[in-house]
Amino acid sequence: MELGLKGKVALVTGGSRGIGFAIARGLAMEGACLSICARTESVLEEAAGRIRAESGVEVLAVASDLAQAEAIRAVVAKTVAAFGRVDILVNNAGSTERGDFLTLPDDQYWADWNGKLFATIRLSREVFPHMRQQRWGRIINIVGLAARNPQPSFMTGGTGNAALLNFTKALADLGAPHNILVTAVSPSTTRTPRWERRVAARAAAERKSLEEAMREEHARMPLGRIAEPEEVAAMVTFLASERASYVTGATVAVDGGATRGVY
């Protein structure tokens, strides 16, 4: 299938590793020029180099902390300065913490919402005028199953993700008259460095081997395994493409059938 992504300009946040890296690589392999950002410059530059070498597309790496409003303005400005436009925004960066409701401090809620929910809102607001002028845009928000499947130990992430679904739908209404399509992709547990760290911590706390803790994670899923980042990236690449020209306001679960209920 020809996706029509050649020459499009995509900004992928958190493109240095995990799901964001797989998305950035997926878009680049379809011929999109890339701007990727994350805080750790060395890891970001290495990711940009790998993608450039594999795909041959231009990759701009902008080291920045998206928890800062000023950094967000700079990321979009540098992307537009380098490529002259921004066609696709993938709001992927974020790192929300698990914790006990009664002891989790307010600061953790603010930090987690700021790094993901507010970063998504601010970045979308920043790219929207460019997309409106072009009369073409795609904004794809990476959410998470906890948005619709609340978990008591993951309230900062779950509440932030639920708000992101609401935001996605409202922004889709605003974007529709200008051919700016806004969607959300909700992965279930996906094999990324963050997941590996979390399982290692759980294994240590429960005095299990890492292999046993990982086996349990896979066994919980209907397909008998967790997702690979490339499986999430494939859906994002499709939604970013010309072939998804009548999909907006929708949330697509890439969850191996894990979500209960119907939507």
Ligand X SMILES: NC(=O)c1ccc[n+]([C@@H]2O[C@H](COP(=O)([O-])OP(=O)(O)OC[C@H]3O[C@@H](n4cnc5c(N)ncnc54)[C@H](OP(=O)(O)O)[C@@H]3O)[C@@H](O)[C@H]2O)c1
Which positions touch ligand X (CB under 6 A)?
A: 14, 16-20, 37-40, 43, 65-67, 92-96, 115-116, 142, 144, 187, 189-190, 192-195
In whole angstroms, the minimum distance from the beta carbon of 127 to ligand X comes to 16
Question: Rounded to an integer, what distance in angstroms lies between the CA atom of residue 93 and that of residue 102?
Answer: 27
Choose between 95 and 133: whose C-beta lies nearer to ligand X.
Answer: 95
Enumerate residues 6+ apart whose C-beta is below 8 A from 175: 128, 131, 137, 139, 181, 182, 248
Strand residues in 115-189 grouped as ranges (E): 137-142, 180-187
In whole angstroms, the minimum distance from the beta carbon of 101 to ligand X comes to 19
Choose between 96 and 168: whose C-beta lies nearer to ligand X.
Answer: 96
Choose between 79 and 192: whose C-beta lies nearer to ligand X.
Answer: 192
Is residue 52 within 8 A of residue 34, CB to CB? The reply is: no
Handedness of CA 24, 38, 183, 181 (dihedral sign): negative
- Other C-beta atoms closer than 10 Å to the C-beta of 148 total 19
Amino acid making up residue 160:
G
Choose between 19 and 121: whose C-beta lies nearer to ligand X.
Answer: 19
In whole angstroms, the minimum distance from the beta carbon of 74 to ligand X comes to 12
Question: Rounded to an integer, what distance in angstroms lies between the CA atom of residue 137 and that of residue 252?
Answer: 18
Question: Rounded to an integer, what distance in angstroms lies between the CA atom of residue 50 and that of residue 262?
Answer: 40
DSSP states of 221-245: STTSS-B-HHHHHHHHHHHHSGGGT
Choose between 9 and 117: whose C-beta lies nearer to ligand X.
Answer: 117
**Residue the block writes with tokens 């690449």:** 237
Choose between 135 and 218: whose C-beta lies nearer to ligand X.
Answer: 218
In whole angstroms, the minimum distance from the beta carbon of 116 to ligand X comes to 6
In whole angstroms, the minimum distance from the beta carbon of 125 to ligand X comes to 17
In whole angstroms, the minimum distance from the beta carbon of 179 to ligand X comes to 26
